Structure 1
Amino acid sequence: MKINTMYHGEVEINEILTFEKGIPGFVEEKQFALLPLSDDEFYYVLQSVSTPGLAFVLTNPFHFMKEYDFQLEEGAVEELSLESEKDVTVYSILTVQDPFEKTTANLQAPIIINLKNRKAKQVVLHNEQYKTKHPIFEKAEVKG
């Protein structure tokens, strides 16, 4: 299937992620494609299948925060039909800044994808340690 995208122009996609309840703020948007944004497979675009101007830049939060950890609520596990942790991949939505080093990640509401059935959901964690605008680049040390 061909779709028009925000960053890639027209592309052919083979797999569609289904957000049964949409994404918070975009509840009518239920189908997305996950497209690579960089050759190093570090950044991705979550592109709406039906709305070319709706796309989110994502990354795997474990690339920049090894200790990131949370427990999915049972309702989310059931909604995604998850059977094993091996079936799960996690992404964080980035707020891209200029300069790029100021870019932040939403660790409070990760995107959870079941790799087996392509169901996806943005879950809101009730953990105050994670923020919606977590810096992904370590602050440079000032040497005096």
Structure 2
Amino acid sequence: MTLTHALDMMAVPESADGGLVAENHAPVIDIPVIDMVLPMPGFPEHRSWALVQVDDSSDLGSLSSLDEQGLRFLVVPPAAFFPDYAPEVGDDVVAALGIESAADVLVLVVLTTGRGLHDTTANLAAPVLVNLTTRRAGQVVLDQPGLPVAAPLLG
């Protein structure tokens, strides 16, 4: 299944202070349980999530709530679409997620699907950071002016 096909087939709910600069090149991997210690805005009661790669031919992932069946978000590592994206997070986020090295962090951006790939956008202002060692995660609203909440995935 291609990224375009996967995006077309799946429905998704719509919805700098000198700390770590997260790397954005890690691929999506399956993680059966993630503890969302910094909850996604609008979903504070949802702490347990699973990350599943949608198919073997893309880095498209499904971040699914284990607390509410059917609640999921499409996510993707930003590198292929936004190669210069370098989110900066504060020491408070680093501590909350137990991050010891930038290499331990999987950076994901939440997608809002359109009618097709050309209408799909990524939220660059609030990435999901997953510590691959501790499996603690959080959606972090960045203090980096100019990062859009709806950046076109293509173009």
TM category, shorter: 0.7 to 0.9
Letter in 2 for 1:84: S
Contact 2:34–2:49 (CA<8 Å) still a contact in 1? Answer: yes
Larger-Rg structure: 1
- Match for residue 4 of structure 1? none
Structure 2 distance, partners of 1:18, 1:91, is 15
Deviation digits for residues 80-127 of structure 1 (CA, Å, limit 9, x no counterpart): 010011111100000000022110000000000000010000000111
- Match for residue 33 of structure 1? 50
- Match for residue 136 of structure 1? 153
What is the CA-CA distance between 1:23 and the residue it aligns to?
Answer: 1.4
Of the structure 1 ranges 36-45 and 85-94, higher mean CA displacement relative to structure 2 is found in: 36-45
**Please, which of 36, 55, 78 is the counterpart of residue 19 of structure 1?**
36
Structure 1 distance, partners of 2:31, 2:152, is 33
Query: Over aligned residue pairs, what C-alpha RMSD do you find?
Result: 1.5
Q: Identity of aligned pairs, percent? A: 31
Structure 1 distance, partners of 2:132, 2:78, is 17
Q: Which structure has the highest helix share of the two?
A: 2
Q: How does 1:70-81 map to 2 (within 5 A)?
A: 70-81=87-98
**Please, which of 97, 105, 109 is the counterpart of residue 122 of structure 2?**
105
**Please, which of 82, 85, 90 is the counterpart of residue 68 of structure 1?**
85
Of the structure 1 ranges 64-73 and 34-43, higher mean CA displacement relative to structure 2 is found in: 34-43
- Match for residue 95 of structure 1? 112
Letter in 2 for 1:102: D
Structure 2 distance, partners of 1:104, 1:14, is 24
What is the CA-CA distance between 1:70 and the residue it aligns to?
Answer: 2.3
Normalising by structure 2, report the TM-score.
0.77
| Structure 1 unaligned residues grouped into runs of 5+ | 1-6, 8-12, 139-144
Change in Cα spacing, 1:22 to 1:77, as seen in structure 2 (3 Å) is same
| Structure 2 unaligned residues grouped into runs of 5+ | 1-9, 11-29
